[in-house]
Amino acid sequence: MSRIGVFICHCGENISRTVDVERVAQEVGKLPGVAFSTDYKYMCSDPGQNLLKKAIQDQKLSHIVVAACSPRMHEKTFRKAVEAAGLNPFLCEMANIREHCSWVHENKEEATVKAVEIVGMMVERVKKNRVLPTITVPVTKRALVIGGGIAGIQAALDIADCGHEVILVEREPSIGGHMAQLSETFPTLDCSQCIMTPKMVDVANHPRIKLYTYSEIELVEGYIGNFQVTIKRKARSVNEDTCTGCGVCMEKCPVRKIPNKFDCNLGMRPAIYVPFPQAVPNTPVIDRENCIKFKTGKCGLCQKVCGPGAVDYEQEDSLVVEAVGAIVVATGFDLYTIDEKPKGSAIKGYGEFGHGKIPDVIDGMTFERLASASGPTGGKILRPSDGREPKQIVFIQCIGSRAREKGISYCSKVCCMYTAKHTMLYHHKVHDGQAYVFFMDARTPGKSYDEFWRRSIEEEEAVYIRGMVSRLYQKGDKIVVMGSDIAVGVQVEIEADMVVLATAVQPQKGADLLAQKLGISYDKYNFYSEAHAKLRPVECATAGIYLAGACQGPKDIPETVGQASAAAAKVMTLFSKDKLEREPIVARVKESGCVGCFACKKVCAYGAVEEKEIRDRQGNLIKTVAFVNPGVCAGCGTCQATCPSKCVELDGYTDEQVIAMIEAL
């Protein structure tokens, strides 16, 4: 027999102003099964909780209903109090008589009647509550970090420094990502390579970081604390263990004119190459599409000159499986392809700006390579067309970003700042040059950011024109830029030597495919979605997977590093215990009735439903049924709603409980 205790909260005056709480306590006290019923001014306060604990012991209560605010507010508080008094926390339910009653009604009489009914429903419900044991799952204390840009590097270093093993997977031949391509960084103008490369070396030398470059995620199985990840290691054609990184192979390679992607195709590289001299690992890779040996079977020069004999033409792609407990996704961004409409995309191109057709119309990243001391021009700003120094340069912001009619409505966040930086770098390198910037607004929130932007105008003589460019075209060796200055209301025409487009930040190509492998959600632009925009910004809705950097949305370096460390902290929180405790609000399959249609498996967003074989004692297969892995289940209840046989129950929200509530009305 249940001995239910009901506690009615006044919530200061929030509830008692509109609900006669004493009458509710009296009325509810008459319900069958209710052994104790009282009201108190603040149930959530320390004396309130003590009242609850004392009543449980004195009255020998078996189930508890707290009628107060929303369970989202204080369910955890009261369940903890109930647990402290020696009851299973899941024998406590909350009746919401604040948001669902006092706040939305004015008539005290009617609100009181409604409050009695709401509490009555929960009394009937709590009678059907079962003791639920907390779920524990073991945790593999190794982390996988996907992406070796600054986000992935920071997260990997933080986790490894805390004493845990980290697997860092990078798609390109070297780690470093986009930050390694940058010249100087805002708002302090320190050299990107100078702050980046030491961190890259730290990764390479760290005893607890296992680095897989030129590798991709093939398959992700398992769940929080227990993932099995299959990694495809693409054939490098050079043995990483024996190569000393002397570089002779690259010097001797007869193929020399392959545009280097790292230099935005401005510089050239051989067929056996490292993307940039500071690459980590400093092991070359053979670009098999352009290598003479792979194309014709002849040549083989690199193998002949390689002292340690590291060049291996026979190498094949291989798969490795790693067991990890947590995954940090840090796949970063890519720049919007401005000249053409991406295939199968709602996003339109910006053909009117001549990118790809006019050689001196370049994007922001190409300008970074021109300005970089280690870039193809040694840090001189020179036109790709004729190698002359541009004396008039036009920067155009918001290319792709904030253009709903073109398909992207978000702000790329970094362009205002990097364009201001570009004007400074240009001014430092071309003293007699003039920089113009077309902009919609300058968005410069951030420490020392607005000061930096002001400096580009006030000290570095950049001319900012508020307005967009309607058209630009080649005229002789000049580019005529036609736009409007909406602050003054006049048309502007500038004969520029070079135009730099601040193109939108987009997620990496294939971000959606990786998300599907991981079972995490993404938005319409393929940016990964966090579990809660404000309160859980680095966690995915899928337990055990965390986000760092621009794969989640446009970010600058300080923000990315901050988020990477935050993700690492989340991973360390997970790794701080040997077993992981999870709330037991999970789905359970009634195997006797399950017909194995697996509709539940098909609708599960978390990959929590597995197939389970039921066999008799002789080992004959009786049937295959669904099984919900409690370690993965998030308790959303979709499977319960989908099951045509009604053979899935969500603990804490069973059909029996819900029907009892309805029947109480």
Partner 1 sequence: MTKPIDTSIYTAVTDAIRTEAQRILSEGQVSAIVGYAAARRKGSAQPIVISQPDDAAKLIFTPACVNNLAVYLTKAKKEIPKSGKIGIVVKGCDLKALSGLMGESQLKREDIYLIGVPCAGVLASTVQPATELTTDSIAPKCTECDAHLPTGCDFVPAQTPVAADLEKKYAAEITRLEALTPAERWAYWKEQFSKCIKCYACRQVCPFCFCEQCLCDRNKPQMVDTTPRPAGNTAWHIVRAMHLAGRCAGCAECERVCPMDIPLNLLNRKMAKELKELYDHEAGFEVLDKGPLNMFTEKDDQSFIK
Q: Which of 292, 595, 614, 664 binds partner 1 (CB under 8 A)?
A: 595
Q: What gap in Å lies between CA 235 and CA 213, rounded to an integer?
A: 11
Please report, for residues 68, 98, 151, 363, 451, the alpha-carbon distance to residue 13 in angstroms, rounded to integers and kept in the order given: 12, 10, 48, 60, 48
Using CA atoms in the order 86, 90, 94, 95, what is the torsion angle rounded to 10 degrees? -120
Binding segment for partner 1 (CB under 8 A), chosen from 256-264, 325-333, 356-364, 651-659, is: 651-659
Q: How far is the CB of 129 from partner 1 (least distance, A)?
A: 15
Answer for which of 598, 610, 637, 664 binds partner 1 (CB under 8 A) is 598
- Return the number of the residue (391 or 646) whose C-beta is nearest partner 1: 646
Binding of residue 602 to partner 1 (CB under 8 A): yes
Which CB atom, from 535 or from 621, has the smaller least distance to partner 1?
A: 621
Would you say 51 or 599 has its CB closer to partner 1? 599
Alpha-carbon distance of 384 to 370, in angstroms, equals 9
Asked if 645 interacts with partner 1 (CB under 8 A), we say: yes
Q: Choose between 73 and 595: whose C-beta lies nearer to partner 1.
A: 595
Q: Which is nearer to partner 1, 196 or 660 (CB)?
A: 660
Closest separation between CB of residue 541 and partner 1, Å? 15
Closer to partner 1 by Cβ: residue 315 or 642: 642
Running DSSP on this structure, what letter comes out for residue 322?
A: E
The residue (of 81 and 608) whose beta carbon lies closer to partner 1 is 608
Sign of CA dihedral 616, 620, 626, 630: positive
Map 424-447 to HEC letters.
HHHHHHCCCCEEEEEECCCCCCCC
Q: Closest distance between partner 1 and the C-beta of residue 145, in Å?
A: 30
Q: Any contact of residue 489 with partner 1 (CB under 8 A)?
A: no
With CB under 8 A as the contact rule, the residue among 76, 458, 593, 615 that binds partner 1 is 593
Binding mask 143-162 for partner 1 (x = CB under 8 A): --------------------
The type of residue at 530 is E
> For residues 119-148, b (16+ Cβ closer than 10 Å) or e, as one string?
bbbbbbbbbbbeebeebebebbbbbbbbbb
Question: Among residues 257 and 524, whose Cβ is nearest to partner 1?
Answer: 524
Question: Using CB under 8 A, which of 597, 607, 614, 653 touches partner 1?
Answer: 597
Residues 109/287, Cβ–Cβ less than 8 Å: no
Q: Does 298 bind partner 1 (CB under 8 A)?
A: no
Closer residue to partner 1, CB minimum distance, 107 or 345: 345
- Could you say which residues in the range 368-427 bind partner 1, by CB under 8 A? none
Among 599, 614, 637, 664, binds partner 1 (CB under 8 A): 599
Would you state the structure tokens that stand for residue 460, as one six-digit string?
Answer: 């570095």
Given the complex with partner 1, which of 218 and 591 has the nearer CB atom? 591
Return the number of the residue (267 or 637) whose C-beta is nearest partner 1.
Answer: 637
State which of residues 257, 447, 644, 665 lies at the interface with partner 1 (CB under 8 A): 644
Give the shortest CB-519-to-partner 1 separation in angstroms: 15
- Cα 53 to its chain centre, rounded Å, is 42
Which tokens belong to 360?
Answer: 């001196």
Comparing CB distances to partner 1, the nearer of 15 and 636 is 636
Q: How far is CA 327 from CA 144, 157, 229, in A?
A: 5, 14, 10
List the structure tokens of 60.
């020998």
Choose the stretch contacting partner 1; rule: CB under 8 A; options: 200-208, 348-356, 568-576, 587-595.
Answer: 587-595
- The amino acid sitting at 372 is S
In whole angstroms, what is the distance from residue 542 CA to residue 521 CA?
8
Q: Is 313 in the site for partner 1 (CB under 8 A)?
A: no
CB environment 46-80: b (16+ within 10 A), e (fewer): eebbebbbebbeeeebbbbbbbbbebeebbebbbe
Whole-angstrom distance, CA of residue 210 vs CA of residue 229:
14
How far is residue 660's CA from residue 249's CA, in Å, rounded to a whole number? 77
- Identify residues 161-180 at the interface with partner 1 (CB under 8 A): none
Candidates 76-84, 256-264, 312-320, 652-660: pick the segment binding partner 1 (CB under 8 A): 652-660
Work out whether 296 is an interface residue with partner 1 (CB under 8 A): no
50 vs 645, which CB is nearer to partner 1? Answer: 645
Query: Per CB under 8 A, does 592 bind partner 1?
Result: yes
Q: Would you say 487 or 622 has its CB closer to partner 1?
A: 622
Tokens of 550: 């621009």
Least distance CB 594 / partner 1 (angstroms): 8
Residue of the chain from 84, 603, 614, 664 that contacts partner 1 (CB under 8 A): 603
Enclosing H/E stretch for 390:
none
Distance CA 170, CA 147 (A): 5
Provide the 8-state DSSP code for 171: S
For position 614 contacting partner 1 by CB under 8 A, the verdict is no
CA dihedral 266→462→373→400, nearest 10 degrees, is -40
Q: Which of 315, 642, 653, 664 binds partner 1 (CB under 8 A)?
A: 642
Nearer to partner 1 (CB atom), residue 388 or residue 602: 602
Is the Cβ–Cβ distance between 469 and 501 less than 8 Å? no
The CA-atom distances, in angstroms, between 44 and each of 5, 66, 115, 329 are 16, 10, 19, 39
- Nearest approach, Cβ of 130 to partner 1 (angstroms)? 14
Q: Per residue in 426-448, is it b (16+ CB within 10 Å) or e — as a string? A: bbeebeebbbbbbbbebbbebee
Which CB sits closer to partner 1, 184 or 649? 649
Shortest distance (Å) from residue 595 CB to partner 1: 5
Cβ within 8 Å of residue 74, ≥6 positions away: 43, 44, 66, 68, 94
Q: Return d(Cα 415, Cα 599) in angstroms, integer.
A: 46
The token duo for 188 is 């302090």
The DSSP bridge partners found for residue 321 are 230
Q: Which range binds partner 1 by CB under 8 A, 445-453, 534-542, 571-579, 653-661? A: 653-661
Residue 213 and residue 168 in contact, taking contact as beta carbons nearer than 8 Å? no
Residue nearer to partner 1 on the CB measure, 183 or 542: 542
Q: Which stretch binds partner 1 (CB under 8 A): 49-57, 210-218, 526-534, 596-604?
A: 596-604
Q: Decide if residue 659 touches partner 1 (CB under 8 A).
A: yes
Question: How many Å apart are CA 4 and CA 119, to the nearest integer?
Answer: 12
Can you tell me whether residue 69 is helix, strand or coil? Answer: coil
Number of residues that bind partner 1 (CB under 8 A): 22
* Residue indicated by tokens 């030398």: 205
User: In this chain, which of 596, 614, 637, 664 binds partner 1, going by CB under 8 A?
Assistant: 596
User: Does 647 help bind partner 1 (rule: CB under 8 A)?
Assistant: yes
Nearest CA to 305 out of 257, 235, 244 is that of: 244
DSSP-H helix ranges across 272-321: 292-296, 301-305
Judged by CB under 8 A, the chain residues 616 through 635 that form the site for partner 1 are: 623-624
Under the binding rule (CB under 8 A), the answer on residue 76 touching partner 1 is no
Among 295, 391, 536, 646, binds partner 1 (CB under 8 A): 646
Pick out residues in 496-555 that bind partner 1 (CB under 8 A): 524
Which residues of this chain interact with partner 1, rule CB under 8 A?
524, 592-599, 602-603, 623-624, 642, 644-647, 655-656, 659-660
